[in-house]
Amino acid sequence: MKAYTLKKFRKLVENSDMLYGTVSLNAAVRVPIRIRKKTLLKYLDDIAPGTWADELVIYAETGTSPKGNKTLKLV
Q: What is the pLDDT of residue 53?
A: 80
What's the mean pLDDT in 2-25? 92
Each residue of 43-68: pLDDT tens digit? 998 988 877 888 889 999 999 999 99
Residue type, 23: V
Per-residue confidence band for 37, with pLDDT thresholds at 50, 70 and 90: very high
What's the mean pLDDT in 29-49? 91
Instruction: Provide the mean pLDDT of the chain.
Output: 91
8 A C-beta contact, residue 13 and residue 37: yes
Within the chain, strands assigned E span 2-4, 18-24, 30-35, 58-64, 70-74
The angle that helices 6-15 and 37-45 make with each other, rounded to 10 degrees, is 160
Q: What predicted TM-score, i.e. pTM, was given to this entire model? A: 0.82
Helix H or strand E encompassing 20: strand 18-24
d(CA 49, CA 31): 32
